[in-house]
Structure 1
Amino acid sequence: MSNTDIVTVADAAGVRTITLNRPEAFSSLNRELRLALIDAFTAAAADSATGGTVRAVVVAATGKAFCAGQDLREQLQDARDGTGKDKVFSEYNPMMAALLSIPVPVIAAIQGPAAGAGWGIAMACDFRVVASTASFKGAFSGVGLASDCGLSQSLTDAVGQAKALELLLFDEKITADRAAELGIVTSVVEPDALAETVAALAARFAAGPTASYREIKALVRDAAAVNARADDEGHAQVRLFTTHDHSEAMAAFLEKRAPGFTGQ
């Protein structure tokens, strides 16, 4: 087992568990966490390639949330300083490419909210086992931005174009039960059964025909399409960073009021 302050990585019986460990910030993604996840996902991909010892991967988080998406404090500081405009290309997209490159089954264990990029991470996993307390939310249009982490592709793959557009534009919270109805999640369990359920599924994969799983996953999951869409989303984010509506959303957040969008 190896640990950093912000991500933990543990191996047991062919299963690697990668845990986001920033509970005080709902595992929101700041630069330190993004870079740590790039390293963890890259190592998991290498260690689960043909001949590797890792036969299944679990992505989990400590605390009440799975991942709240972009760290808004960092985003506000970037807005003040005029920095961070390239982080989608330099950090987010490499993080997602590394996750998508893991060739064995990847299970997301989701105990609470998965929002923004956190939802993107969840959708890039192959299975999503969620507690009844879990939820999903885009949280992009509300701050005048586009989706990222390839979510516009992975969500469309899961629910179809019309429903994906509805979910991202309406930007309403999706409960665990509603996610199950939409086919977004594999199963919904009570919170105290989440760890056991995920462990049993991971153990099943770790004891299975791993070479077959790798080939089937490569045939079913179009990682290249998600990565290409993530690149398109990055360009959209750059265009939107300097819009009035995004600036207004950030100001409204600081002033604890509803934003007044002008469409500009």
Structure 2
Amino acid sequence: MTRLSDYAEKYQGIAMTREGGVLEMTLHTRGGPAKWGSSPDSLHGELGDAFLDVARDPENKVIVLTGTGESFIDGFDPSLSFPEPDMASMWPRIYDEGNALLQNLLAIPMPMIAAVNGPALIHAEIPVMCDIVLAAEHAEFADLAHFPNGTVPGDGVHVIWPMLLGPNRGRYFLLTGERIGASEANRLGVVGEVLPPAELLPRARALAQSMAAMPTAALRYTRSLLTRELRRRMADELASGLAHEALATLVTDKG
């Protein structure tokens, strides 16, 4: 069991506050818009542990996940690159963190609402795995971290996007770096609502508070039921996907 005081200030890239059982997790990089990295103190390294802390806190009833400023995660921060001397040294950690990030997100036993405050171009699978996905009008979704960057899309995106978009559109999305705007994402069923930026968080908070008024057992068992297929697919396919991604990276690095 954890308490908010144990983890609220534990992570340098995740700000956390709670009101009425609703925990807000706001991603950022040094107080500004969140950027991705591969170091242990980047979001890649922190999110899995943070999701586990959140999951173990019985006072959390609903989670709101959002970003900072005009983007959710739209690029990389070079200062957060991996510290290991080579790819072979890096991959055992990346494998463990990649598994923890998505498995622990799905292990959170309370409903999650994503408020996508702008472009989610790097690891956009994180917000769209939430139970309710709201997006600002200028938000867009893409997977630019993997195949368009010469990397195998094996760390869960190969599971999520074909599930959400369908097998053919999902493969097209991953192989071409397609950007899907908020309105199109809503039409495709990836996003539940598209809102003006100023209305995004108020709407997420209102939904969260209305849900938090429900009995805890109803919240937790509904979340368990609605994520069952996601958890099964991720358990079956994530480790293999990460292994394929690592293999390609190691072969390329040696070549």
TM-score range, shorter chain: 0.7 to 0.9
Give the Cα separation in 1 of the matches to 2:21 and 2:113: 14
Give the Cα separation in 1 of the matches to 2:82 and 2:49: 26
2:118 to 98, 101, 112: 112
Unaligned runs of 5+ in 1: 248-263
User: What residue is the counterpart of 1:15 in the other structure?
Assistant: 22
Q: How does 1:232-251 map to 2 (within 5 A)?
A: 232-244=240-252
Residues 1:36 and 2:41 aligned together: no
Aligned residues, how many?
A: 241
Letter paired with 1:115: L
Residues 1:84 and 2:94 aligned together: no
1:154 to 125, 135, 160: 160
User: What residue is the counterpart of 2:204 in the other structure?
Assistant: 198
CA contact (8 A) 2:33 2:67 kept: no
User: What residue is the counterpart of 2:223 in the other structure?
Assistant: 217
Give the Cα separation in 1 of the matches to 2:99 and 2:68: 23
Structure 1 vs Structure 2 CA RMSD: 2.5
Letter paired with 1:226: M
Structure 1 length normalisation: TM-score?
0.81
Residue deviations 1:57-86, cap 9 Å, x none?
0111213221236655655876x7434223
Q: Tell me, what secondary structure is at the counterpart of 1:63?
A: coil
Q: Tell me, what secondary structure is at the counterpart of 1:113?
A: coil
Q: Tell me, what secondary structure is at the counterpart of 2:163?
A: helix
Give the Cα separation in 2 of the matches to 1:9 and 1:46: 15
Letter paired with 1:62: T
Give the Cα separation in 2 of the matches to 1:29 and 1:91: 12
Q: Tell me, what secondary structure is at the counterpart of 2:178?
A: coil
* Displacement after TM superposition at 1:180 (Å): 0.8
Q: Tell me, what secondary structure is at the counterpart of 2:175?
A: helix
User: What residue is the counterpart of 2:12 in the other structure?
Assistant: 5
* Displacement after TM superposition at 1:201 (Å): 1.1
Residue deviations 1:116-142, cap 9 Å, x none?
32x121122112111011111111211
* Displacement after TM superposition at 1:232 (Å): 1.8
User: What residue is the counterpart of 1:250 in the other structure?
Assistant: none
Residues 1:138 and 2:111 aligned together: no
Of 145-154 and 95-104, deviating more is 145-154
User: What residue is the counterpart of 2:73 in the other structure?
Assistant: 67
Structure 2 length normalisation: TM-score?
0.84
